């Protein structure tokens, strides 16, 4: 009797030690992940001169909101950029998710005859691309999408990688379900909407997050196709422009006659990072549990 | 069986892809042809109307002229206010409206060339031979030839620019752009240092060579605790060019090798000979001196990875100087006179040691006309007004008097209560400024006239204005050399490469194996051809 309690106590002790060690390790790891972010946050509130003289600091030595002042120089502009990005992200994710899911489902149906050919065609575009100039000419001259938000929305709708991921996830759903539904008289679209979609929630959450982050961070297409004539452009492009122009004005010998304004370059970079990441950080925990499941299931069964 | 069908299918898909791409190619070719014809037609009709009108220019139709500017569009609303006034004047004088198309600093190299490659109908375009790919774009036919249009539609500019300057803008004997040749700007590099400290340290005459500069650094090290003699970013390799300038007569060739060019002609008299001081003793001496200076901590130990801003340290009184160009010095001097009164900022231009100074290219700024321009005549008229009409010029360059600037004693200042965020205006008109219409900037140091005068005495005309190095034959070698330069040169420049003799040897060997000889041979071939082309 005594010996069992002792043993149990011993077990408790080791498991507590192991657990404590584990917590410490994970805590430390988490700290390492979070620290850089705090460094960014701290630096964004530090006066530029202090950064130059003393380097980056976790805690601002010399509290200053000047960087944010420059970023928010024209509040309506940044609010407008936020609105554009949020709209594009929501609309793009909704449509993109639907199309990617449909494509992924169709491509794995064994009774879809040219599925391999079409899969190959989609895969092919990941290997060979036209390059920037043809892309630009097609978008601006053929489709006339210059200064049109569609030029940012459309290219992101279907990503080959996500289609392949979706395809391999749907493969894990037995084909028998589709067939039995068919026997009960359901049409293809009905099967997709009421049977397949509910069963692929984890994959949808994962892919949705990928698409959403893609749209959230989108600046290249916006840079190419949305000229400054548009009053509002996506957030990332707006912020990128704020930073690059300051950088350029300060370091370039090209434009020899610009009088550099006093730009808090380092703290401004950090401030833009904070402004850009904010909402994503809030959004991520909500879909996180699906996220892990979605990635692993898709990968293992693929 | 299954295999076979798959293979068939694959073949089918590939064939379809091929067919599609072929169709796409021929399609775009056709459209390009038709647009070309269109522009030719436009030009023909332009000259046609010119001859029938017998001199009088028909401006009855109100048109909008676009102008591609490099820079970020001002966002505080001032730009629109100024443009309203500019456009009112343009309507009155040329019945035209000017619309600025901005190419922002976000990936501007890509976007600028895409804009020209896409065949959009652009009118005026800021361009430059040394930083904006003017020649490659001219080769691709992105610009319209101006020979017939200029005398009639931009007569003042046509007369103002001398024939030898027009010659600099010609591609295949046709004028491709209007140079910014009547505007003084100097971007030759040098060392900006504190005159008050130099005096304190017993350096009474202006610094004119690296030896005295070394004395200045050592003096600061000894007598100014807490001050870094030269707090530099690790990306600034201009010291290399500075040393070459100071200790040889070599002049830099317009071939880019990443962070800094390493190809030079041995002297102005031998400007068509290609080589590199890297393979001469100059470079070894330079490496030795920099090792010595680095060991004496004239700059911070972590200089190679340091990304801070050198000017901020200078302004805070924590650094003995900044390496940058003349224009920066003039602005910095004025600023330092306010921030650190009595600092007496001085400038040691690298040309001071041996009077080795080459002018800037007159096409460092230029304006071209898009090949698909719909209103080439009116575009040139607008350009002529922007450049020559003092009222429009001042509006377009400085903004509205009283709001953006006030004039005191013939100099331009900001009005009292000027708020940069709210009132700032710029149009980045880098394609046709002229000294005649400029109001000197009061925030540039007064002494600029003496400095410019001293440059004028020794400057030699820029010899490579029309030289376009065709990189294609040596593209791979040049890329490899750029790699070597970016990887190894910074350590040598800041004396962090260990034993200088060994470092220099290694660097030379790396360049050789990257294909240095082949590039020099090709460069020489093209320089010979260029010499024939311009010298006859």
Residues A128 and A49 in one domain: no
Q: Is the pLDDT of residue B38 over 80?
A: no
CB-closest option in A74, A253, A261 to B75:
A74
pLDDT digits (tens, 9 = 90+) for B377-393: 999 999 999 999 999 99
Would the CB atoms of A52 and B308 count as touching at under 8 Å?
Answer: yes
Q: Could you give the count of Cα atoms lying within 13 Å of B55 in the half-sphere of its Cβ?
A: 0
d(C-alpha B201, C-alpha B223), whole Å: 8
Residues A26 and A49 in one domain: yes
Q: Which pLDDT score is estimated for A294?
A: 63
Strands B264-265 and B251-252: antiparallel
CA-wise closest residue to B293 among B234, B198, B227, B218: B218
Q: Which residue does chain B place closest to A133, by CA atoms?
A: B114
Q: Is the pLDDT of residue B461 over 80?
A: yes
Residues A81 and A201 in one domain: yes
Residues A136 and A90 in one domain: yes
Q: Which residue does chain B place closest to A251, by CA atoms?
A: B309
Q: Is the pLDDT of residue B18 over 60?
A: no
CA B316 to chain CA mean position, Å: 29
d(C-alpha B527, C-alpha B533), whole Å: 10
Residues A96 and A23 in one domain: no
d(C-alpha A199, C-alpha A105), whole Å: 12
**Which residues on chain B are in Cβ contact (under 8 Å) with A123?**
none
Residues A185 and A250 in one domain: yes
Would the CB atoms of A244 and B327 count as touching at under 8 Å?
Answer: no
Is residue B171 classed as helix, strand or coil in its secondary structure? Answer: strand
CB atoms within 10 A of CB B408: 9
Work out whether the CA dihedral B198, B202, B204, B207 comes out positive or negative. Answer: negative
Q: Which pLDDT score is estimated for B361?
A: 87
Residues A199 and A117 in one domain: yes
Would the CB atoms of A261 and B187 count as touching at under 8 Å?
Answer: no
Cβ-contact B74, B424 below 8 angstroms: yes
Q: A10 in a domain, yes or no?
A: no
Global pTM reads 0.77
Residues 6+ apart with CB under 8 A from B202: B219
Residues A140 and A288 in one domain: yes
pLDDT digits (tens, 9 = 90+) for B141-177: 999 999 999 999 999 999 999 998 998 899 888 999 9
Residues A139 and A229 in one domain: yes
Q: Which pLDDT score is estimated for A188?
A: 87
Cβ-contact A260, A249 below 8 angstroms: yes
CB-closest option in B101, B106, B114 to A132:
B114
Q: Which pLDDT score is estimated for B36?
A: 39
Q: A246 in a domain, yes or no?
A: yes
pLDDT-derived band at B244 (thresholds 50, 70, 90) equals very high
pLDDT digits (tens, 9 = 90+) for B325-345: 898 898 889 889 988 899 999
**Which residues on chain A are in Cβ contact (under 8 Å) with B184?**
none
**Which residues on chain A are in Cβ contact (under 8 Å) with B17?**
124
Q: Which residue does chain A place closest to B189, by CA atoms?
A: A253
Q: Does the CB of B325 have a partner CB in chain A at under 8 Å?
A: yes
Q: Which pLDDT score is estimated for B43?
A: 40
CATH code: domain of residue A259: 1.10.3720.10
Q: Does the CB of A230 have a partner CB in chain B at under 8 Å?
A: no
Q: A268 in a domain, yes or no?
A: yes
Strands B366-369 and B177-179: antiparallel
How confident is the model over B91-101, as a mean pLDDT?
93
CA A185 to chain B, closest CA, distance in angstroms equals 31
- A138-147, B43-52, B180-189, B199-208: least confident range: B43-52
Q: A56 in a domain, yes or no?
A: yes
Two tokens at B356? Answer: 């080795």
Q: Does the CB of B442 have a partner CB in chain A at under 8 Å?
A: no
Q: Which pLDDT score is estimated for B33?
A: 38
Report CA-CA distances (Å) from B18 to A127, A163, B14.
Answer: 15, 24, 6
CA-wise closest residue to A202 among A166, A249, A240: A166
CA A155 to chain B, closest CA, distance in angstroms equals 18
Domain coverage including residue A56: 17-64
Question: How many interface pairs between A and B have CB atoms less than 8 angstroms apart?
Answer: 116
| Residue ranges of chain A whose pLDDT lies below 70 | 1-11, 52-53, 249-263, 287, 291, 293-302
| Nearest-10 crossing angle of helices B475-493, B238-247 | 90
When divided into structural domains, chain A yields a total of 2
d(C-alpha A205, C-alpha A165), whole Å: 12
Q: Does the CB of B119 have a partner CB in chain A at under 8 Å?
A: yes
Cβ-contact A141, B118 below 8 angstroms: yes
Q: A3 in a domain, yes or no?
A: no
Of A64, A87, A102, the residue that ends a domain is A64
Q: Does the CB of A144 have a partner CB in chain B at under 8 Å?
A: no
Q: Which pLDDT score is estimated for B79?
A: 92
Residues A44 and A111 in one domain: no
Residues A48 and A81 in one domain: no
**Which residues on chain A are in Cβ contact (under 8 Å) with B312?**
48-49, 52
Q: A302 in a domain, yes or no?
A: no
Order of strands across the sheet with B345-349? Answer: B321-325, B189-194, B345-349
pLDDT digits (tens, 9 = 90+) for B270-282: 999 999 999 999 9
d(C-alpha B327, C-alpha B330), whole Å: 5
Residue B275 is given by DSSP the state B
Q: A6 in a domain, yes or no?
A: no
Residues A158 and A232 in one domain: yes
Q: A27 in a domain, yes or no?
A: yes
Residue B342 backbone zone (phi > 0: left; psi -120 to 50: alpha; other: beta): left
pLDDT digits (tens, 9 = 90+) for B481-517: 999 999 999 999 999 999 999 999 999 999 999 999 9
User: What is the rounded average pLDDT for all residues in chain B?
Assistant: 86
**Which residues on chain B are in Cβ contact (under 8 Å) with A256?**
185-187, 325, 327, 364
Q: Is the pLDDT of residue B28 over 60?
A: no
Would the CB atoms of B114 and A116 count as touching at under 8 Å?
Answer: no
């Amino acid at each position: 009797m005594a010996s069992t309690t002792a043993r149990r106590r011993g077990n408790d002790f080791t498991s507590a030690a192991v657990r404590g060690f584990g917590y410490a390790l994970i805590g430390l790891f988490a700290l390492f992940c979070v620290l850089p972010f705090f460094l960014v946050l701290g630096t964004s509130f530090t006066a530029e001169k202090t950064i130059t003289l003393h380097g980056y600091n976790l805690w601002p030595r010399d509290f200053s909101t000047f960087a944010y002042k420059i970023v928010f120089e024209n509040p309506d502009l940044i609010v407008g950029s936020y609105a554009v990005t949020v709209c594009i992200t929501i609309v793009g994710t909704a449509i993109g998710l639907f199309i990617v899911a449909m494509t992924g489902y169709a491509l794995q149906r064994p009774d879809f005859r040219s599925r391999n050919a079409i899969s190959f065609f989609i895969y092919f575009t990941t290997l060979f691309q036209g390059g920037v100039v043809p892309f630009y000419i097609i978008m601006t001259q053929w489709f006339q999408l210059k200064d049109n938000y569609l030029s940012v929305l459309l290219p992101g709708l279907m990503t080959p990688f996500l289609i392949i991921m979706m395809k391999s996830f749907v493969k894990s759903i037995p084909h028998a379900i589709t067939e039995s539904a068919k026997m009960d008289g359901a049409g293809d679209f009905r099967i997709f909407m009421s049977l397949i979609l509910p069963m692929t929630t984890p994959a949808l959450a994962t892919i949705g997050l990928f698409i959403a982050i893609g749209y959230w961070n989108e600046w290249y297409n916006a840079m190419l196709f949305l000229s400054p004539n548009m009053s509002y452009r996506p957030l990332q492009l707006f912020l990128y422009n704020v930073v690059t122009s300051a950088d350029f004005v300060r370091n370039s010998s090209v434009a020899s006659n610009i009088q550099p304004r006093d730009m808090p370059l380092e703290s401004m970079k950090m401030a833009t990072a904070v402004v850009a990441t904010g909402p994503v950080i809030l959004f991520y925990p909500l879909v996180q549990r699906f996220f892990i499941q979605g990635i692993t299931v898709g990968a293992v069964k693929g | 069986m299954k295999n076979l069908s798959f293979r068939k299918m694959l073949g089918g898909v590939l064939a379809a892809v091929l067919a599609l791409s072929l169709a796409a190619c021929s399609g775009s070719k056709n459209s390009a042809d038709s647009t070309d014809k269109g522009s030719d037609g436009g030009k023909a009709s332009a000259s046609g109307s010119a001859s029938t009108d017998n001199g009088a220019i028909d401006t009855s139709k109100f048109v909008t002229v676009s102008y591609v500017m490099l820079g970020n569009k001002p966002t505080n609303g001032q730009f629109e206010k100024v443009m309203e006034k500019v456009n009112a004047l343009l309507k009155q004088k040329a019945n035209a409206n000017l619309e600025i198309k901005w190419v922002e600093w976000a990936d501007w190299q890509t976007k600028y060339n895409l804009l020209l490659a896409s065949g959009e109908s652009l009118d005026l375009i800021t361009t430059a031979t040394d930083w904006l790919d003017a020649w490659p774009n001219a080769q691709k036919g992105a610009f319209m030839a101006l020979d017939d249009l200029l005398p009639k539609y931009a007569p003042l500019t046509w007369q103002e620019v001398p024939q030898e300057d027009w010659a600099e803008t010609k591609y295949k004997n046709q004028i491709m752009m209007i140079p910014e040749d009547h505007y003084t700007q100097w971007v030759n590099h040098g060392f900006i240092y504190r005159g008050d400290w130099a005096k304190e340290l017993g350096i009474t005459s202006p610094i004119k060579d690296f030896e005295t500069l070394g004395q200045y650094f050592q003096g600061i090290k000894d007598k100014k605790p807490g001050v870094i003699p030269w707090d530099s970013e690790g990306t600034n390799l201009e010291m290399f060019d500075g040393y070459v300038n100071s200790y040889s007569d070599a002049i830099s060739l317009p071939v880019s090798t990443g962070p800094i060019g390493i190809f030079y002609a041995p002297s102005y008299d031998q400007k068509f000979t290609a080589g590199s001081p890297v393979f001469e003793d100059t470079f070894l001496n330079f490496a030795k001196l920099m090792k010595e200076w680095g060991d004496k901590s004239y700059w911070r130990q972590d200089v190679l990875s340091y990304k801070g801003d050198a000017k901020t340290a200078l302004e805070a009184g924590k650094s003995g100087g900044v390496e940058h160009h003349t224009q920066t010095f003039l602005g910095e001097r004025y600023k330092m006179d306010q921030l650190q009164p009595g600092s007496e900022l001085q400038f040691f231009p690298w040309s001071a040691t041996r009077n080795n100074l080459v002018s800037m290219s007159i096409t460092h700024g230029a304006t071209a006309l898009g090949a698909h321009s719909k209103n080439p005549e009116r575009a040139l008229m607008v350009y002529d007004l922007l450049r020559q009409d003092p009222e429009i010029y001042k509006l377009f360059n400085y903004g509205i008097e009283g709001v953006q600037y006030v004039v005191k004693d013939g100099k331009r200042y900001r009005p009292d209560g000027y708020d940069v965020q709210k009132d700032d205006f710029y149009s980045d008109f880098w394609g046709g400024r002229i000294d005649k219409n400029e109001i000197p900037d009061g925030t540039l140091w007064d002494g600029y006239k003496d400095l410019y005068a001293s440059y004028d005495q020794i400057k030699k005309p820029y010899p490579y204005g029309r030289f376009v190095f065709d990189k294609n034959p040596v593209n791979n070698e040049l890329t490899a050399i750029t790699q070597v330069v970016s990887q190894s040169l910074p350590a040598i420049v800041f004396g962090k490469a260990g034993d200088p003799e060994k470092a220099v040897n290694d660097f030379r060997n790396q360049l050789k194996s990257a294909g240095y000889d082949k590039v020099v041979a090709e460069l020489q071939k093209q320089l010979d051809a260029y010499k024939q082309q311009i010298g006859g």
